[in-house]
Structure 1
């Protein structure tokens, strides 16, 4: 017989990480109770090092005594372990398409956005162009109110960085990726997505997030950086 410890769910994360927020949102959408443990990445705790010895990164989901690492892998584990309120479509082809777009969001959009935030000069300019191109393609792939249709699903969770972290990074680094006039579907999606109560509960407050990312940028390049 399974003990309470075998069913306990813990999330190791960092408060300002979109990847941590992805895991918390997925659990909330599934109605799964969990314990959140904040990690200090400058002084990684033994539980994190033991649970993710390969990459030593957050987020990590610990289900009972079983650790699962990497945010998208964790989302798939959550979806399969708690089948209520499915995050992925039932149809195999549609599931494959969702995984394709998740990889696109991560590799084409997310990577370019974070690179632009954390670089200067030509590398920054190239990353901005790559991000704009990726967002334009993503706009064409958004057909409904959410990526999953009328309810929040797998792709909406994976794209949480675009909905909430992107405008914060734009302001923190004085750059512009997102033109709402050119991307009306993504604009409407962002507006609908960020007003959902469970989403707001999973995301950190903007008034705390923005100064943190401004401070990180200042540490890298100094407070007077205004390059594009």
Structure 2
């Protein structure tokens, strides 16, 4: 697998209600864990949806390696895994059935290969023992791990996760940290969150976005607990002034 760089150049997006969600956003992201940090409403989800080919910007460019992400959407989707903030599940469907269905949609037509892929992913996210249980019976952390499994179908080179640990208890959050860290050893993983600890725990590189603008892009900060939130919001005030 050839490592790809993700580049976004001067992306802007204004919604019909006049809200400017993105304002001339430029970023360069190498393989590994990358944090996109900002308060709710900062523009993070808009940027994630554009990168996931679900939303058109008003202006700007985006490239994944040599792929033009705004013009070559089919090519992007072949190498993309996406876990949105809200991940719905079908009622009364088991984890294994749902993942097999999604694998078919992803293009895994060979039955034996599909079965091996599904079982391997369920083992990777530690859900294999629960594979026959209904997804509606899963805890929040289990659902998020299932969301990662579906996002990894097709061996993506870019994985986007939007607010993945919101609502998880500390134990589930730590399990999710370990899972993302392992994935981030080989591909680009973009972690979009308002939770400072997520980025501090996982990401060597990061950016801060606020009111649609990138206020900082570079190495992760290293404040010490329990003052992470205070440091983050004071840094936003400093950078935005």
Q: TM-score, normalised by structure 2?
A: 0.30
Structure number with higher relative contact order (C-alpha < 8 Å, ≥ 6 residues apart): 2
Q: TM-score, normalised by structure 1?
A: 0.31
Structure with the higher strand share, 1 or 2: 2
